[in-house]
A and B are shown apart, each in its own frame.
Chain A
Amino acid sequence: GENVEQHPSTLSVQEGDSAVIKCTYSDSASNYFPWYKQELGKRPQLIIDIRSNVGEKKDQRIAVTLNKTAKHFSLHITETQPEDSAVYFCAASKGGGYNKLIFGAGTRLAVHP
C-alpha cells in the first residue's frame, strides 16, 4: 500500500543550526514529493517540492534531496530562524496530474533563540 514514514517526530535546534527531516515512501510509482509547513492554526503551505527526475533542489535556506533507489527524500534547512518553528510534512504523489498526496506524520520543529 501507499505509505510515507517521517522522522523525527520532534526536532529542537538552536537558532543558526541546520535541521534535517527524513522521509521514506513505499510506492515506487511515486514521482512527486512536496514539503509543507504548517504553523499553529494555519493552513499547510507548500515550501518546496521535487520531482523524481531531479536529485536535489534548493531555494535559499531550504533544500530537498531525493534518492529514488532507496525511496528516501529529505528536507534540509540551514541557518534556522525562530520563524522556521512549525510542523513540517513530507508527502508523495504519483503525479500525472492526480491531486492525491500521501503524507508523513509530520515533524514539529522548534528553533530556540
Chain B
Amino acid sequence: KAGVTQTPRYLIKTRGQQVTLSCSPISGHRSVSWYQQTPGQGLQFLFEYFSETQRNKGNFPGRFSGRQFSNSRSEMNVSTLELGDSALYLCASSTGTGQLEAFFGQGTRLTVV
C-alpha cells in the first residue's frame, strides 16, 4: 500500500510569487490536513479537507488556501509569497471517519528568497 506522497520535494520561489503544493493521500483515505513546520513555530495546522470540503481551518492568512479533488488528492496554494513563508509543508492523510491515525508525507521544503 503506497504511503502519502507530496510533490515537489523542494521549491525555491521569489517574494511575491505564488506556489502550489500537492499531496496524494493513502488509498482509501478521504481526509488530508496540511501543516507548516518551522524551527520557531513548530508544527502548525493550516487546514483540513474531507470529501472535497474544507472541514477545519487554522489561523493563517487568506494567502494560504487549498482544495481537494474527487480522488482525495489535495493541493495547497500560497499567494504573494513572503520570506516568512519559508518552511517545510507537510500533509497528513487519515480516513476522516472514526479511525484517528494520521500519516504524514515527506513534506515539501519551500524556500522564499
- Chain B residues contacting A104 (CB-CB under 8 Å) are 42
A54 at the interface (CB under 8 A from B): no
Report the interface size class on chain B: 20 to 34
CB-based nearest B residue for A106: B42
- Chain A residues contacting B99 (CB-CB under 8 Å) are 97
Are B104 and A93 in touch, CB under 8 angstroms? no
The minimal Cβ–Cβ distance linking B59 to chain A, given in whole angstroms, is 9
- Which residues, 79 to 113 on A, are CB-close (under 8 Å) to B? 89, 91, 93, 95, 97-106
Contacts A44-B90, A97-B97 known; A103 to B102 CB distance under 8 Å?
Answer: no
Q: In whole angstroms, how far apart are the Cα atoms of A91 and B43 in the complex?
A: 10
CB-based nearest A residue for B100: A32
B64 at the interface (CB under 8 A from A): no
- Chain B residues contacting A102 (CB-CB under 8 Å) are 45
B32 at the interface (CB under 8 A from A): yes
Are A97 and B31 in touch, CB under 8 angstroms? yes
Q: In whole angstroms, how far apart are the Cα atoms of A91 and B103 in the complex?
A: 13
Are A100 and B45 in touch, CB under 8 angstroms? yes
- Chain A residues contacting B97 (CB-CB under 8 Å) are 97
The minimal Cβ–Cβ distance linking B38 to chain A, given in whole angstroms, is 11
A-facing mask of B32-75, CB < 8 A → 1, else 0?
Answer: 11010000001111001010000110100000000000000000
Contacts A89-B43, A101-B45, A101-B92 known; A95 to B104 CB distance under 8 Å?
Answer: no
Q: In whole angstroms, how far apart are the Cα atoms of A26 and B44 in the complex?
A: 16
Interface set of B (CB-CB < 8 Å, partner A): 31-33, 35, 42-45, 48, 50, 55-56, 58, 90, 92, 94-107
Interface set of A (CB-CB < 8 Å, partner B): 32, 34, 36, 42-46, 49, 51, 89, 91, 93, 95, 97-106
